[in-house]
Every structure is written in structure tokens, then in C-alpha cells.
Amino acid sequence: MDDTSSVGIVNTQSFTFAESPNELPLECGRNFGPITLAYETYGKLSPAKDNAILILHALSGDAHAAGFNHPHERHPGWWDIMIGPGKAFDTSQYFVICSNVIGGCKGSTGPSSINPQTGKPYALSFPMVTIHDMVNAQRALIDHLGIDQLLCVVGGSMGGMQVLQWVVSYPERVRLAIPIATTSKLSSQSIAFNEVGRQAIQSDPHWKEGEFYGKPIPRRGLAIARMIGHITYLSEKSMHQKFGRKLQDKAEYGYDFRADFQVESYLRYKGDHFVDRFDANSYLYISKAMDYFDLAQPYGSIEQAFANVKAKFLVISFSSDWLFPSHQSKEIVSACRRVGAEAIYTEIQTDYGHDAFLLESEQLTSLITNFLTHGRKEAS
């Protein structure tokens, strides 16, 4: 690892709140607690507490966004290209927080967590959570950290949905918002892909209505869900460039049902690998939270949702992203402008598809660095 630009070794921390009787009210109508959120921080909170940036992750992300949890970790955190000294989220200037979501399986309370009342995992007795619930839980964390106002909230994909929900739910507490490769409501097509992934998990005989803990897990169902997702994160062109019709370890077609093409082996690998690091029930809950996301719905329109927004926006989409296509970002920008909120919009030209938010670090860095520098100055 490059020592000068890495945050180095970091510990994932956790914060527990909403303990009885002060449970968190959820959108589904239930009150729920206790809730633990896993989070990491990088850099130092300024004495004025005005340099905090909250990073929000996508479906399968976690709190470990940068650096290494131990010296022999093979890969750094999931957005390490963006977080560190001198990077877009410059930890020599900013206090960067990455919070995991409720419903997850990476140290936060979710369906695989032990229900203290029964001593067993919640499984499907875990309440359905929404993007709004995730954000309410993060607000408790931000309170706990003693931060009144975040300099910036930022995230891609489902992280971007949380960004939008933050500025709508807590307009006084966000100065700058960077929703990337996201949407103000999940499209019919995206709901459809999520639903097929859930069907794959729920059709796996090992799923057992979610009661698989301590038993064989629904590996194949979860792997299939991940494979479907993975195809939607890439573009036709990036798949063509990366794999084309290249064969896997053979000179000619095998004429059997083993993997002939590299793209098949790659997807199988991605699916298998995911199963070892993610909980099948969390996949169900979090994908459902995405389906439910419709920022305008409780307000009647996106303009009314944005009516009290104070934040300045930098909205970024990617030209080849067909899961969250640019027109969905443009809708957000138009709505901002109609209510008088400042919004800068950039569509980055790239072949990487939806995954570009994890890959296009150079262009993202330039855009975000400028936006943060100007935004911070204007506010101070």
C-alpha cells in the first residue's frame, strides 16, 4: 500500500442506541431496538466540527470504506481510491465517516443479528427497513459523534438514495450533497431485477423461510441474485471489452454445460465469492428497501420533497449506466432548480456502466475536490 495516500490501519467501530424503551420508530410502523451501527472514521473532526463528510454505501457495501483493518488485509476498503490524504475526500482536511446500514450484515443490526429477547437470530422477524429508516439510524450516529451539521453527504447507487433522503429529512444538517449514479425512485426495471434475485434466494431449499443460521446457507440462490446484480452493474460495452466471446481455458467449444466462456466463469466466481461475505436475508431486506425508495411519494412531488432543502448539490451520472440511467439524475437536478436549490450536474462519459462510481476515480476526484473546496469556502 502507498503509505502517503492511505489512511492506513483503521478499526471498525460500533455504536448502539435505541435501547428499550427508546426504540426507533420505523416506517413500517414498528418500533425497533436495540440498534448497532458499524462505522469507520478517517481524519480528524475540526474544533468547529464543520469538516465532517458522511459516506453512504451501496447494496453490498459496508463501513470499511478506506484503509486496512489489519496489516495483512489483501484489499483496502471499498472506496479507498477516493478517501485518504490528498484524495477527493482528503483526510488531511476532512473528518470522513462511513456508516453501515441497518438491515446489513457487516456489524450492524440486521436479520442475521441475535435478537436479545430470544437469543436467536432475527431472521424474518427482523422488521422491514427503508432508506428513510437507514438515514434515521445514521442521524443517531451523527448525534452521537456530536456533529450538528455535516459538511457533505455522499454516496453512489443506494448510497445516493440515502444522500437524497438525508437532505430531505434533515435539511438543516447537510451543507453539501453528492448523489452519484442514483435515482429519486427505483424504476420498474430495477424492481424487477431485485425481485428475480429475491426469488432465486427464496427458491433455494436451504433458505428455509430465512431460518438457515447454523445450517447450510442458501449459497446457490444468493450467488444467482448476485450474478443478476453484477450484470446490471456493467455495461454491454464494458463486458464486450473485458470478455467478448473469449473462451475459458479451452481452444474450442466444450459442447457441454460447463462454462465455455470467460464471462460465465467470471460470474460464477463473483457469485461464489459474494456468498462468503454476505447474508442472504440482508440481501432480501436491503433490496426491498431500495424497491420501496420513492423520495417524492410522502410529499406528493419531488419539488415538495425538496421544498426545505438547504444543501448545494453535485449530481453525477455515468453515460453507460443503464441501471440508474442519466435521465434519472437529470430529474433530480431539474427538481432542485425548480425549487431554487443550487445543483451542478455532470454526466461522466465512461464505458464502465453503473460500477463507474467505484472506478472513475480521476474524474470523480476532480469534480468532488472542486465542489468541496468551493462549498466549504462559501459556507464559512
The residue among 42 and 278 lying less far from its own copies, judged by its C-beta, is 278
Binding mask 303-342 for its own copies (x = CB under 8 A): -------------------x--x-----------------
Site for its own copies in 186-205 (CB under 8 A): 186-189, 191-193, 195-196, 198-200, 202-205
* 157 flagged as catalytic: yes
Q: Helices 158-169 & 280-292, crossing angle to 10 degrees?
A: 50
Binding residue for its own copies (CB under 8 A) from 35, 59, 263, 315? Answer: 263
* 143 flagged as catalytic: no
* Distance in Å, CB of 83 to its own copies, minimum: 31
In the DSSP assignment, the letter for residue 236 is H
> Of 359, 316, 323, 72, whose CA–CA distance to 178 is shortest?
316
Which three-class secondary structure state does DSSP give residue 316?
Answer: strand
The whole-angstrom separation of Cα 197 and Cα 67 is 31
The answer to whether residue 211 forms part of the interface with its own copies (CB under 8 A) is no
The answer to whether residue 72 forms part of the interface with its own copies (CB under 8 A) is no
The answer to whether residue 301 forms part of the interface with its own copies (CB under 8 A) is no
The whole-angstrom separation of Cα 20 and Cα 140 is 15
Binding residue for its own copies (CB under 8 A) from 21, 245, 276, 380? Answer: 245
The whole-angstrom separation of Cα 81 and Cα 97 is 15
- Long-range contacts of residues 321-324, Cβ cutoff 8 Å, at least 24 apart: 321/181, 321/235, 321/353, 321/354, 321/356, 322/232, 322/235, 322/353, 322/354, 323/190, 323/193, 323/232, 323/233, 323/353, 323/354, 324/157, 324/160, 324/181, 324/182, 324/183, 324/190, 324/354
Binding residue for its own copies (CB under 8 A) from 71, 75, 255, 340? Answer: 255
Give the binding-site size for its own copies (rule: CB under 8 A): 57
Q: Which residues pair with 54 in a beta bridge?
A: 97, 153
The residue among 103 and 375 lying less far from its own copies, judged by its C-beta, is 103
* 72 flagged as catalytic: no
The whole-angstrom separation of Cα 148 and Cα 173 is 6
* Distance in Å, CB of 76 to its own copies, minimum: 28
Which three-class secondary structure state does DSSP give residue 15?
Answer: strand
Catalytic annotation, pick one of 60, 108, 157, 326: 157
Binding mask 265-284 for its own copies (x = CB under 8 A): --xx--x------------x
The whole-angstrom separation of Cα 274 and Cα 217 is 13
> Which residues of the shown chain bind its own copies in the complex (CB under 8 A)?
27-29, 124, 127-128, 185-189, 191-193, 195-196, 198-200, 202-205, 220-221, 223-224, 227-228, 231, 234, 236, 239-240, 242-245, 253, 255-257, 259-261, 263-264, 267-268, 271, 284, 288, 291-292, 294, 322, 325
